[in-house]
Amino acid sequence: MLHLVKVVSSSPTFGLYSNDPVSLLESKGYEIEFLYREITSNEEKFAEALRDADALIVGVEKITPTVLAGAEKLKVIAKHGAGVDNIDLAEAGKRKIVVTNAPGANRHAVADMVFGLFLSIARSIPQANQDVKRNKWPRIIGNEIFQKKLGVIGTGRIGQEVIRRAQGFQMKVLCYDLYPNENIEQLGLGKYVSLEELLKESDFITIHTDLNDATNALIGEAELLAMKKSAFLINTARGGIIDERALYQALVNGELKGAALDVFEQEPLLEAPLLSLPNFVATPHMAGYTEEALREVGILTAQNVIDVIEKRQPAFIV
């Protein structure tokens, strides 16, 4: 008797905005079960839901040893996105579960968002919008992006798209990455420098690196003090890369002109001192979420699942 492949999805956005990824799995005859937060927020319930699963598609839900305890049939954990810091990779490895991700599938969405946030904070667009809607008509003086120095921390797929967009603003691009991409300098798109030089020289700084032991609190008090007082800082990568308490002090003390974060140490962010500041813009971890990006990341995630189930090497294996 042919075994029916069961795919469990705990990602709240997989298949939500485009049914194409779901259709791709169904075309293979796979059974798909969607889990709701009531289950995924409880480790024991989550673990029970995975007992007969062959594949798990996951968003930002925590995949712990407890969650995987009874998942004897599980062959693949496919991240519906890029970052896998929410998945216990050691436990997955011990259980011989393949972990895949979909890096760069949302690169255009995030790169667009970066410049949306730069413009928002440099020109005080959110504040201006609120004022006008409250029947105020203030004179707001902002800053231009044109021909300014842009610092890009992390030059992977998303960082490269940001650099390409910066050419339209004729920005001078400074890059920092432990693994430099030679093409960036060869094409004249940017120059690799030390982190210290990037922080010191940049007018706008954007972060596009993973969250790991080396990047946790990468931007702390010392790094913020090293930046220009006129600089603007953006993070659309992962919460925790910037020390939020140090960032608050830097903004309050005028050590930094403005900042915008799409990601936070604790999400959802309901209360935080940062939210009280006029020179701070917050968005709800939305940078990678566009209809186009969600379709692309969904298709790539589904294909990763299919490749593992059919015993092929997936395109992106962690």
From the list 267, 291, 292, 310, the catalytic residue is 267
316 occurs within a structural domain: no
Q: Quote the pLDDT of residue 1.
A: 43
CA 298 to chain CA centroid, Å, is: 15
Q: Quote the pLDDT of residue 83.
A: 84
1 occurs within a structural domain: no
What is the average per-residue pLDDT within 251-269? 96
127 occurs within a structural domain: yes
Residues 125 and 95 in one domain: no
pLDDT digits (tens, 9 = 90+) for 123-164: 999 999 999 999 999 999 999 999 999 999 999 999 999 999
Residues 117 and 255 in one domain: yes
pTM of the model: 0.85
Residues 201 and 186 in one domain: yes
Residues 147 and 262 in one domain: yes
Residues 213 and 98 in one domain: no
Residues 135 and 209 in one domain: yes
Structural domain boundaries enclosing 213: 107-282
From the list 51, 164, 245, 285, the catalytic residue is 285
88 occurs within a structural domain: yes
pLDDT digits (tens, 9 = 90+) for 276-311: 999 999 999 999 999 999 999 999 999 999 999 999
Residues 114 and 217 in one domain: yes
Give yes or no: 48 in active site: no
Residues 151 and 40 in one domain: no
pLDDT digits (tens, 9 = 90+) for 43-62: 999 999 999 999 999 998 99
| Spatial distance between the Cα atoms of 270 and 28, rounded to a whole number of angstroms | 42
Q: Are 195 and 215 in contact (CB under 8 A)?
A: no
Number of domains in the chain: 2
Give yes or no: 295 in active site: no
SS3 assignment, position 242: strand
CA 187 to chain CA centroid, Å, is: 26
Residue bearing tokens 């259980």? 95
Give yes or no: 238 in active site: yes
253 occurs within a structural domain: yes
From the list 80, 108, 208, 238, the catalytic residue is 238
pLDDT digits (tens, 9 = 90+) for 73-116: 999 999 998 889 899 999 999 999 999 999 889 999 999 999 99
Report the mean per-residue pLDDT for the chain: 96
pLDDT digits (tens, 9 = 90+) for 175-184: 999 999 999 9
Q: Kindly report the CATH number assigned to the domain that includes residue 162.
A: 3.40.50.720
Q: Are strands 76-79 and 31-34 parallel, antiparallel or unpaired?
A: unpaired
189 occurs within a structural domain: yes
Residues 118 and 220 in one domain: yes
Residues 98 and 124 in one domain: no
